């Protein structure tokens, strides 16, 4: 803290507030600081929630209430503290959220009433304002519950009255009541058993503490951006990437385990790190500290250098957040299926799909739900039921798309009261051919019939790698060779993918057909798939050839010819 000496020092917040009268604009600065500090610690307050109680996120509610209070005065040029306090109280009242917000607004209301028309905030009026805030808040409830924000307000007001005996400077009084508020918060579990059982302190009380502490931190020129829960147990550190958006300067995440050679001075430690990065968390346990920080690319080694200067580093992990964020976006883009919305009374199609690409195609063709599954992972009957039981219709058509899944799909009928028909599609191409004939508003029986007929109008080719040497139907293949199945029947073994495709197409009498669709699997690259499509095109120039990313496991290609 800067001391009050005769040497002239540059004008600091401390000098401004300590040595000059606090007017309405000063009060506004303090409210702004309180809001910032409360926001910084919002999650800490939220986590103090005694589950399960109805007043959910106390931190959020208090932040919203303080935000409303600040918004009310943000552009207010008023210099009279009393009038400013009334404006704050009005904003808090209008924006009060949740129990804690209402109590907070009552504290401000009493605070404002005590300052009525007071030009400056002096020590006496500050103490009176705390007392009036407490009285007003207590009036708002029949049976005040102790061990809550009310108790903290009461203890703070008492501490202020006591401090007034020693000093009349409002800032000195504020400085003295912060530890009292802190102590009062720590004492709340003794007064309220439910807190003790949950092993937490009262969230509203803690929020009030942050509001007061934020004001003092601002006056003392301390940062309002880094949560100062000081050190938390390692187990409670929240290191899971829950970032939704990256802000500039959050390129890398560093987690550093270190053992300081001398006890850490947290104040200096945080100040130093704030120069480097954001989202700073410090955890302690098992004799070491764990530091979490987000830093811009150019400063990615600085936290390491800094912690190394303090002691011994045992472990460092560094992650590129920008890259992770992009990867997550790519993933979420893929998993979001454009499923059909089913209206009551319509028919819904449930398709079993062996890969994300194929799932996407079924969804875009009108499937209302997708069940993951295929050759090597057959979905259970239960999984299929889950997929449709919440749809708002009782007319259900299932496309198993694999001959091993047809039975499981048919068993669904025993588990549901809905009207279920299974189209016996033995492969993805058959399923696709069927869904092309699907009409959601059609007559159930005739739609089922159309779809069942369509199944047989397509030739299915599947190309995969033989897992063992085998001879079936006179065709011998060796382990590791590519095998070709035509409508589920083994026809061919070869070592080249082009050969496999061409062999199947010939067998399927493709010359007399119009369309060839190639779904390439997860074990094949796009380039490779397109290269093979070009080879096929040179052999079948009259046919329409489409290449789609099926994403299915194990099968290099699923080929549909129609």
Least distance in angstroms from the C-beta of 145 to other proteins: 7
Check binding of 194 to other proteins (CB under 8 A): no
The dihedral over CA atoms of 328, 241, 317, 46, expressed in degrees to the nearest 10, equals 170
State the Cα–Cα distance between residues 540 and 509, nearest whole angstrom. Answer: 11
- Closer to other proteins by CB, 97 or 292: give it: 97
Q: Is residue 223 within 8 Å of 271, Cβ to Cβ? A: yes
> Cβ 40 to other proteins, closest distance in Å?
24
Residue 109 to residue 137: CA distance in whole angstroms: 9
Distance CA 15, CA 3 (A): 9
In the complex, the smallest distance separating the C-beta of residue 37 from other proteins, rounded to whole angstroms, is 23
Q: Which of 23, 47, 119, 140 binds other proteins (CB under 8 A)?
A: 140
> Could you tell me the smallest distance in angstroms from the CB atom of residue 279 to other proteins?
32
- 184 near 152, Cβ under 8 Å? yes
CB closer to other proteins out of 137 and 501 = 137
Closest to other proteins by CB, 111 vs 306, is: 111
DSSP state of 65: H
Q: Looking at residues 104 to 123 of the shown chain, list those that interact with other proteins (rule: CB under 8 A).
A: 105-106, 109-110, 112-113
Q: Name which of residues 74 to 93 contact other proteins (CB under 8 A).
A: 86, 89, 93
Residue from the set 141, 243, 313, 321 that interacts with other proteins by CB under 8 A: 141
What's the min distance (Å) between Cβ of 129 and other proteins? 14
Residue 116 C-beta: closest distance to other proteins, Å: 9
Distance CA 516, CA 174 (A): 79
191 close to 13: Cβ distance less than 8 angstroms: no
Nearer to other proteins, 6 or 51 (CB): 51
Nearest Cα residue to 106 out of 90, 117, 119: 90
Name which position in 9, 74, 94, 327 contacts other proteins (CB under 8 A).
Answer: 94
Q: Check: CB of residue 207 under 8 Å from CB of residue 58.
A: yes
**What letter does residue 2 receive in the DSSP assignment?**
-
Count residues contacting other proteins (CB under 8 A)? 28
Cβ nearer to other proteins, comparing 204 with 303: 204
Pick the closer one to other proteins by CB: 136 or 425: 136
Least gap, CB of 451 to other proteins (angstroms): 41
139 prior amide bond cis, ω within 30: no
CA distance 70 to 493: 75
Torsion (CA) 10, 14, 20, 22 in degrees, nearest 10: 140
Q: Could you give the CA distance from residue 432 to residue 351 in angstroms, rounded to a whole number?
A: 9
The two structure tokens encoding residue 126: 């500050």
Which is closer to other proteins, CB of 102 or CB of 384?
Answer: 102
Cα 458 from Cα 559, distance rounded (Å): 10
Of these, 15, 23, 55, 161, which contacts other proteins (CB under 8 A)?
Answer: 55
In angstroms, what is the minimal distance from the CB of 479 to other proteins? 60
* C-beta closer to other proteins: residue 73 or 102: 102
CA-CA distance, 10 to 112, in Å (whole number)?
32
Which helix (H) or strand (E) covers residue 125, if one does?
A: helix 123-139
For residues 351 and 282, is the Cβ–Cβ distance under 8 A? no
Candidates 12-20, 132-140, 283-291, 328-336 — which segment interacts with other proteins by CB under 8 A? 132-140
- Work out how close the CB of 87 gets to other proteins at its nearest, in angstroms, rounded to a whole number: 12
The region of 121-129, 140-148, 296-304, 440-448 touching other proteins under the rule CB under 8 A is 140-148
**How many CB atoms within 10 Å of residue 479?**
10
Q: Which is nearer to other proteins, 97 or 486 (CB)?
A: 97
Closer to other proteins by Cβ: residue 96 or 482: 96
Q: Across the chain, how many H-helices and E-strands are there?
A: 21, 17
Which residues make up the interface to other proteins (CB under 8 A)?
A: 52-55, 86, 89, 93-94, 96-99, 101-103, 105-106, 109-110, 112-113, 136, 139-143, 145
């Amino acid at each position: 803290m800067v001391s009050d000496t005769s040497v002239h020092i540059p004008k600091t917040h401390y000098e401004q507030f300590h040595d000059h009268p606090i007017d309405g604009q000063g009060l506004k600065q303090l409210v702004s600081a309180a809001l910032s500090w409360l926001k910084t610690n919002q999650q800490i307050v939220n986590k103090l929630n005694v589950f399960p109680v109805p007043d959910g996120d106390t931190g959020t509610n208090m932040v919203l209430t303080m935000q409303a209070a600040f918004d009310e005065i943000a552009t207010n040029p008023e210099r009279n503290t009393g009038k400013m306090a009334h404006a704050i109280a009005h904003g808090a009242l209008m924006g009060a959220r949740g129990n804690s917000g209402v109590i907070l607004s009552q504290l401000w209301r009493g605070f404002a009433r005590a300052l009525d028309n007071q030009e400056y905030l002096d020590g006496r009026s500050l103490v009176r304002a705390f007392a009036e805030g407490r009285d007003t808040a207590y009036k708002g409830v029949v049976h005040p519950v102790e061990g809550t924000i009310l108790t903290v307000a009461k203890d703070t007001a008492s501490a202020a009255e006591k401090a007034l005996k020693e000093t009349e400077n409002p800032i000195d009084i504020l400085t003295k009541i912060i530890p009292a508020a802190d102590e009062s918060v720590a004492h709340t579990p003794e007064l309220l058993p439910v807190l003790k059982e949950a092993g937490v302190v009262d969230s509203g009380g803690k929020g009030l503490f942050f509001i007061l502490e934020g004001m003092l931190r601002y006056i003392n020129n301390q940062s309002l951006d880094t949560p100062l829960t000081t050190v938390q147990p390692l187990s409670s550190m929240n290191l899971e990437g829950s970032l939704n958006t990256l802000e500039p300067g959050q390129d890398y995440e560093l987690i550093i385990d270190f053992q300081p050679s001398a006890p850490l001075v947290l104040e200096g430690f945080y100040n130093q790190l704030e120069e480097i990065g954001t989202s700073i968390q410090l955890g302690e346990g098992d004799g070491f500290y764990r530091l979490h920080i987000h830093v811009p690319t150019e400063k990615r080694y600085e936290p390491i250098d800094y912690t190394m200067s303090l002691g011994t580093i045992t472990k460092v992990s560094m992650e590129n957040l920008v890259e992770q964020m992009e990867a997550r976006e790519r993933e979420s883009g893929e998993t979001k299926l454009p499923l059909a919305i089913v209206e009551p009374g319509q028919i819904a199609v449930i398709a079993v799909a062996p890969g994300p690409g194929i799932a996407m195609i079924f969804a875009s063709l009108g499937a209302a739900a997708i069940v993951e599954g295929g050759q090597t992972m057959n979905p259970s009957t239960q999984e299929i039921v889950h997929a449709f039981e919440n749809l708002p219709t009782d007319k259900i058509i299932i496309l198993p798309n694999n001959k091993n899944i047809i039975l499981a799909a048919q068993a669904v009928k025993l588990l549901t009261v809905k009207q279920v028909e299974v189209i016996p599609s033995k492969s993805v191409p058959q399923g696709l051919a069927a869904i092309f004939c699907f009409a959601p508003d059609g007559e159930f029986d005739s739609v089922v019939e159309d779809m069942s007929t369509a199944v047989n109008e397509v030739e299915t080719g599947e190309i995969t790698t033989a897992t063992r040497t085998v001879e079936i139907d006179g065709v011998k293949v060796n382990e590791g060779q590519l095998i070709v199945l035509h409508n589920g029947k083994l026809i061919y073994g070869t070592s080249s993918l082009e050969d496999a495709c061409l062999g199947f197409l010939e067998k399927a009498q493709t010359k007399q057909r119009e369309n060839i669709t190639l779904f390439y699997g997860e074990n094949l690259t796009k380039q490779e798939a397109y290269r093979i499509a070009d080879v096929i095109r040179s052999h079948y120039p009259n046919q329409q050839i489409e290449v789609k990313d099926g994403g299915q496991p194990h099968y290099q290609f699923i080929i549909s010819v129609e």
